[in-house]
Every structure is written in C-alpha cells, then in structure tokens.
Amino acid sequence: MNRRRRIHRTVAVLSLLASSVAYVAVPTAAQEAPSPPVAPGDPYVLAHYYIWFDPTSWNRAKVDFPLLGRYSSDEESVMRRHVELAQSAGVDGFIVSWKSGEVLDSRLEQLIEIAEELDFKLSITYQGLDFNRDPLPIARIESDLEVFVERYADSPVFDMFGKPLVVITGTWEMTQGEVQRITSGRSEDVFILASEKNVEDYERMADYVDGNLYYWSSVNPETNTNHVTKLAAMGAAVRADGGIWIAPAAPGFDARELGGTTVVGRRDGATLREEWQAALDSLPDAIGVISWNEFSENTHIEPSIEFGSASLEVLAGLTGAPNPIVIDFDSSAPEGPPDAIPVRFIAIGIFIAVIVGSTVLVARRRNDDDAPAHHLRDLPHRVGDDPNTPEML
C-alpha cells in the first residue's frame, strides 16, 4: 500500500469518527477476512457518483433507498457523509457524472469544496448522450468541456494522473470525426477517455482519445465465461496504445424497474469480489466501482435499507481499509423490507444499551462519589439530536 493510500485512509477514518453523530460503528466478522489481493501498480479505487438526485427522484424506478434517507444532491451534509464513508472503505475518489447546467454546476462546485477539504480525488464522466440515448450536439459537448477547464480543472482534486480526467460517455454512438472534434486541441488541459465496450471499438477511437473506461454494470461473473478474458484484452489494447485504462467492478445489478430483465445477485459479496479480481487482473490504472449511488440499477454500495453496509464492508476488505458497519437513525427514511427491520432493531438496541449503561454508570458514581448530576450532559448523542432529521437537513 503506497503512501498516498495510507494518508487518505488515515484522514478518512479520523473524519468519519469526528462526524459520527448519526452513525454507530460496530465491528464485524469481515475485519477478520484474509489480506486483500495486491493490485498491480496499486491502481486508484474510484466509485461512480451521481449528483442528479432530488427528493422526487426516489419516486421513480427505485426499490431500495439510502440509510441517509431520500436525499437531494444539493445537501452539503449528504455529500460530506458520502465522501467520508467512501474514504473509510478505501475509495480514493469519485467519478462524477456531469454536464454543465445551473443545477449540476452548483452541485459539482460544492463537491469540489468538500473534496478539497478532505483530500479526496475527483474525475468526470461527461454525459454525452441525451434522454433518448442519442449523442448530444458536438458543439454542446465542446462548450461544456470549456466550462470544465476554465472553472474547475485547476482544483487539486482532479490531479491523479498529472492532468484532470474526463470520460465521454456514449462514444460508441459517435463517429471518429465527432470524437476527434471533441478532443482536438485539449491535450494540454485534460485527459479525455472513450467509453467503448470492446477492443475493436476502442481501437477505432484510439488515435483520438487518451484511454478508455468500461462501464460494465450488468455482467454476471458467475455465468459469463468471457468476463475475465474480455477485460484483460481491453486492458492490453489500451496499454498498448499508451492510454489510461479504468476497469469495472460492481456488487450486483437489477434494472427491472427500468424495463430490463437482467438480474445479477450480490451473493453475499461474491459478485463484487470476483469482479474486483477480474479488474485487477486486467492491470488497470484505476478500478471504477459501479457504483456509489446508482439506485435505479441497484449497483449502489452506499449503505441502504435493503443491503445495509454489506457491499461497503466487502470493498473495505478488498482495499485493506478499516471496516465499520454504518447505521443511520434517520426517522425520515422510508420503511425497509421485512428482512431489513431486524438490523435496525439490533442497532437501536445497541444504542439504547449504551445510553442505559452510561446512565447507570453516572448514577453509580453519583451515589459513591457524590458526583454532580450535570455529568449527564456529557453523553455523546441523543436520538433527538440526530442531524439527519428533516428539520436539520
């Protein structure tokens, strides 16, 4: 583990402990897992991150919800918790889905400020396709890249590979000429990656881009016998061209609420572990974890009502980071499925036990030592003080 990773994780753990008002950390068996596999070249660990959430977003195509509640991406406290939790699991940065506009620009600026403060890295996936999955006008993409370079690219949070990194999504729908137009004249300011899905299509674009990120969220490593060899071939093709290669790893997939039929079960973490190893074997510059908070396709590792913090714990085991269970007492969160209820009851029981135990201890000390009653004010947390309640968000 290199110095960069150690520093990030130390800062992450201290930050998480300092802001753990709404969370309880509980040791788990995953802490006793064997040592994580060694990454060739120690690639960055990045998680795809989405800043498009409004309160109404949770009413569409969602079957699971964050433990933080149905948040808006405008909420600074939510972004901060996301960064702290990601760091605590060994994530070096987010790959932020963005295109320029009043709302997303404001949210990106807020995230940059938090990332600068917490020494967290960022890169960009530019949303190159519209709602109908057609490419945006090339002039629009060029204009938005200029906005990024002029407003944001100088921030140190974008310095991972020597220059900021932007992935153009949907290059498979573009011509070579269109991609060349997007990337031409920008090599001094930013690395621009394609998002192709196979070697042949990447090689079609290789002369005009600085590498490739593959967003493969729906692969089932249990049934796809070509998964490992395909990633290895793509990694070899990108490296042969001198490009940056970002390999995918996801904990599972279920987009039936979006009209799909493919379901990839999480298998108690086995899916993420197998996809992680396949990504490592392709010798990437970074592993792109799919995803932090894509709740429509159910690839999220953000702690949620249905899955708890299980996927985050698995990821922590793979990166070698400390491994807390993170439980939120947000009263505004939607009720979870029946199998999620016992976990919350257990957490609440632990919390109540801590409070009762502290109260008994204070009372005993008061009786024995005539200690003043104001020691009760030193208790670290009360349920009514939860900063995640709607009144305080």
Q: Residue 126 forms beta bridges with which residues?
A: 98, 168
- Between CA 316 and CA 326 the distance in angstroms is 12
Q: How is residue 293 written in tokens?
A: 């908070």
- Between CA 343 and CA 238 the distance in angstroms is 44
Q: Is the pLDDT of residue 382 over 70?
A: no
Which one-letter DSSP state was computed for residue 389? Answer: S
Per-residue confidence (pLDDT) for residue 324, from 0 to 100: 54
- Identify the architecture of domain 11-338 in CATH: Alpha-Beta Barrel (3.20)
The answer to whether 193 and 230 are in contact (CB under 8 A) is no
Per-residue confidence (pLDDT) for residue 322, from 0 to 100: 84
For residues 71-89, average pLDDT: 97
Query: Which helix (H) or strand (E) element contains residue 363?
Result: helix 341-369
- Between CA 7 and CA 275 the distance in angstroms is 26
For residues 46-59, average pLDDT: 97
- Between CA 226 and CA 246 the distance in angstroms is 18
Confidence of residue 40 (pLDDT cuts 50, 70, 90): low
Per-residue confidence (pLDDT) for residue 327, from 0 to 100: 54
Q: How is residue 42 written in tokens?
A: 């120690």
pLDDT tens by residue, 135-194: 999 999 999 999 999 999 999 999 999 999 999 999 999 999 999 999 999 999 999 999
Range from 45-59, 77-91, 351-365 carrying the lowest mean pLDDT:
351-365
Per-residue confidence (pLDDT) for residue 142, from 0 to 100: 97
pLDDT above 70 coverage of the chain, percent: 72
Per-residue confidence (pLDDT) for residue 115, from 0 to 100: 98
Per-residue confidence (pLDDT) for residue 176, from 0 to 100: 97
In this prediction the pTM is 0.77
pLDDT tens by residue, 285-323: 999 999 999 999 999 999 999 999 999 999 999 999 986
For residues 333-359, average pLDDT: 42
